[in-house]
Chain A
Amino acid sequence: MRDLRRVRPYGDTFDDGMVQFSFSLPVPYGEEAREAARQFVAKMGVLEPQVTYAADLGEGMTFFVVYGKTNHDIDFTAIKTPKVESPVMDFYEINQFIRERIGRKIVVLGACTGTDAHTVGIDAIMNMKGYAGEYGLERYPEIEAHNLGSQVSNEELVKKALELKADAILVSQVVTQKDVHIPNLAELVELLEAQDVRNKIVLVCGGPRLGHELALELGYDAGFGPGTLAPEVASFIVHEMAKPAARSDRGGKRQ
């Protein structure tokens, strides 16, 4: 019987606590470097650290692969993570849902904002052809999808959202070096609030280092991490739009 209140890493025997590390230290390659790596991992609370590999990177740097055992444990039963709760529907169900529950085509804008020029993520969600066998939103007959592309300023995005009467905005952020995405994402929320339209728009962000929890903190309705496909995003949007009285003027037929 597994005790989920005390969970440890598993290698090949329950509770062996096996973990692997790879990292570099700014020290010259040699026996002292190996010992430094061993001690470093031991300080992380790892028992019996073994430096299985060390390589000279040049410039007085050394790379290590280290294995060890940890005796830390986690209470799995106490874990709660905020998740996007709406059920995921398929292409046909989503379009049908829009026809029946919303009663008009919905308008979705997508963009990589700020200085970000990496459109792989937003393209995977928006583009006609989609990604990994799932059509993108442009293919959905009940969705009017606009992919604004890369390096869109928040001001421009808000302007477009007002002009096209967007029901939902998808923001993709790939470049997250030095957390440049955080103020950028927060600024969009502020601009939408300043225009008094934040409540009328389902606001979603996504990217390799974005999750639902961070998205909620930043004032978004949802955040999607890497590997997300279009139906997950579309399902969330349409459920959110159809929520009764969640937002005053959503869902009704547009005049």
Chain B
Amino acid sequence: MNSKLYLDEEEIAEARTLAAAIADGVAAFIVDKTTVAVERTVLRLLSLDGVDADGVPLPNVVVDHIHERGQLQRGIARWVINAMLQTGLGIQAIGEAVAAGELDLLALPPRPDAEIFARGREEAQIALERIKRRQEERDHALSRLGEGPQPYIYVIVATGNIYEDVVQARAAARQGADIIAVIRSTGQSLIDYVPYGATTEGFGGTYATQENFRIMRAALDEAGEEIGRYIRLCNYCSGLCMPEIAAMGALERLDVMLNDALYGILFRDINMQRTLIDQNFSRMINSYAGVIINTGEDNYLTTADAVEAAHTVLASQFVNEQLALRSGLPPAQMGLGHAFEMDPMLEDGFLLEWAQALMAREIFPDAPLKYMPPTKHMTGNIFRGHVQDALFNLVGMATGQGIQLLGMMTEAIHTPLIHDRQLAIESARYIFNNARHLRDELEFRRDGKMVERAREVVHEARGLLREIAAKGLFSALEEGRFADVKRSLTGGKGLKGVLVRADDYYNPIESALRSALGLPSANVGSRESGSRESEGREVGGHA
């Protein structure tokens, strides 16, 4: 690596090794567990959709139907596929019959495992084919229409009404946006089901539903055809329904997903076991679907001090990278997040900012890093805010970021108005174009402030990773090592939905994904795959 910041390669290599050990600890802890959300995701990928008479999604109805009677730890697929074999019905008809109280999946006589596994393999193959087709569509559209240069311009829409979002998103695409992120309604991350259908009411954002995904996808495809550029769609694969949203995104060809368990743990108080298990499965789906994930480190420093705690962002990126690799996610899909929310009034803050952004770029050379300007220091003074955002745009270009989340001058006032986005995009395009090759022209003083800053952050990150590796990620979270927020292993929302897999746990979707992604097999049909992972029962000191 030819480092402009003279980064210490040995220290970085050690940090990666430590992060790998931390991720192994997490992987060992989650490998023998599942969650209600993972099981609902299996149903969704097996093509169960819709809601019952009370508006409850059928995946919830069917999972609860089994879970209430203590049989979910064997895997939902076993029961549903058995029912398909016994009744000759498709999964949708089975779900509807269960919802109507006409069918009890546990009352059906069991077919031999071999038959269930054979049918499960077929059904999983169909599911993966559906996802594959969407990925091929994307590849085809990208090669035909092309895309904007990096950094991709990423803007949000957040009207609460999917049809209004469409107007804003199409306008943004015409204005030059490459990625449209539909912000979710505040609070969606904490509801344990995915709302159904097109929605027109939300607060601070719009509900993530499969129909809303479909509506926005179609609108952006149409706009992209007209403009002659592929427009990527982003949503939030986080919260209690993380893997379900990954599945919906894979089926509706979303391109980018926020997907970070640590974010949910720290900022939404979601139970860490629940969300790390959910994350693992959701990242497999995202990986297979060719979705770029974004991680949430860009939020840590809204609560912790940006100068003192910068190394926690880097440490978390190292961990997130290793966790992602364990879900089969290649670096080209790892949109590791970062933002250093330093007080804009800090002397030489811009130098620190630049140094850290370049540091992240050099340490994760193949990742489409997602860079974000500060929201914490937006004051309602839209004019100053616009200048702050402009400086971040310059850093983004000058350090080769992959995705630039554009700040809006009206942040801290309201969700973006249609012209707020126009002004933000205009600023970004001006700066990106005007300083396109700045990075190539610059070298930094070996004894200067920027080199010193990057060295210091790497060094401290390595130190923090040593501490975390010694005690495990779960303990580190309990001690508040990230974002100054403390969370307990058994606290937070969603723990009730975590189950230890039975010895005959069966999940054909996971088997198929693991096989397609080249991941080692877990306990997803032990008699089928022959042997369990040897580390399957380790729980990292947190039994």
Contacts and interface: CB of A to CB of B under 8 A. Distances in A.
Interface of A: 22-24, 55, 57-59, 61, 63, 114-120, 123, 127, 129, 132, 149-151, 175-178, 180, 208, 226-227
B439 interface: no
Nearest to A152: B269
Interface stretch (B167-175, B462-470, B495-503): B167-175
Contacts of A118: 186
B388 to A, nearest CB: 15
A208 B412 contact: yes
B345 to A, nearest CB: 9
Given A57-B175, A63-B422, A119-B302, 8 more contacts: A57-B174, A57-B419, A61-B418, A114-B187, A115-B203, A150-B268, A226-B379, A227-B379
10 contacts: A23-B419, A57-B175, A57-B418, A115-B186, A116-B186, A117-B267, A119-B267, A149-B269, A175-B186, A178-B203
Contacts of B185: 115
A58 B167 CA distance: 9
Interface string B303-329: 111000000000000000000000000
Nearest to B308: A129
Contacts of B445: none
A129 to B, nearest CB: 6
B520 interface: no
Nearest to A24: B419
B13 interface: no
Contact of B484 (A55, A57, A127, A132): A127
B435 interface: no
A177 B268 contact: no
A61 B303 CA distance: 38
B190 interface: yes
A176 B267 CA distance: 20
A180 B376 contact: no
B417 A177 contact: no
Nearest to B417: A24
A59 B419 contact: no
A119 B303 contact: yes
B268 A151 contact: yes
B187 A117 contact: yes
Interface residues of B, number: 36
B203 A58 contact: no
A120 B375 CA distance: 9
Interface in B352-401: 375-376, 379-380
A37 to B, nearest CB: 12
A121 to B, nearest CB: 9
Interface string B192-236: 000000000001100000000000000000000000000000000
Contacts of B376: 120
Given A175-B186, A177-B204, A24 B418 contact: yes
A63 B379 CA distance: 23
Nearest to B187: A115
B413 interface: yes
Interface string B243-275: 000000000000000000000000111000000
B203 A123 contact: no
Given A23-B419, A226-B380, A117 B174 contact: no
Given A59-B167, A151-B187, A226 B412 contact: yes
Contact of B422 (A57, A175, A178, A226): A57
Interface SS of chain A: loop
Given A57-B419, A127-B484, A150-B268, A177 B170 contact: no
B204 A175 contact: yes
A195 B305 CA distance: 39
A150 B267 contact: yes
Given A24-B418, A149-B269, A175-B186, A61 B171 contact: yes
A177 B303 contact: no
A117 B268 contact: yes
Contact of B414 (A23, A57, A127, A177): A177
Contact of A59 (B171, B304, B380, B417): B171
A120 B412 CA distance: 10
Contacts of B189: 117
Nearest to B376: A120
A115 B204 CA distance: 10
A123 B418 CA distance: 30
Contacts of B484: 127, 129
Nearest to B191: A115
B160 interface: yes
Contact of A58 (B171, B375, B380): B171
Contacts of A132: 343
A57 B190 CA distance: 35
Interface string B324-358: 00000000000000000001000000000000000
Q: Which of A119, A120, A227 has the most CB of B within 10 A?
A: A120
B17 interface: no
Contacts of B418: 24, 57, 61, 63
A117 B205 CA distance: 12
A46 to B, nearest CB: 19
Nearest to A227: B379
A41 to B, nearest CB: 15
Given A24-B418, A226-B412, A123 B174 contact: no
B427 interface: no
Nearest to B172: A58
A105 to B, nearest CB: 22
Nearest to A208: B412
Given A59-B174, A115-B187, A151-B190, A180 B422 contact: no
Contacts of B268: 117, 150-151
B477 to A, nearest CB: 15
A58 to B, nearest CB: 3
A63 B160 contact: no
Given A117-B267, A120-B375, A149-B269, A59 B187 contact: no
Q: Which of B173, B189, B203, B484 has the most CB of A within 10 A?
A: B203
Nearest to A116: B186
Contacts of A180: 203
A180 B203 CA distance: 8
A115 B239 CA distance: 14
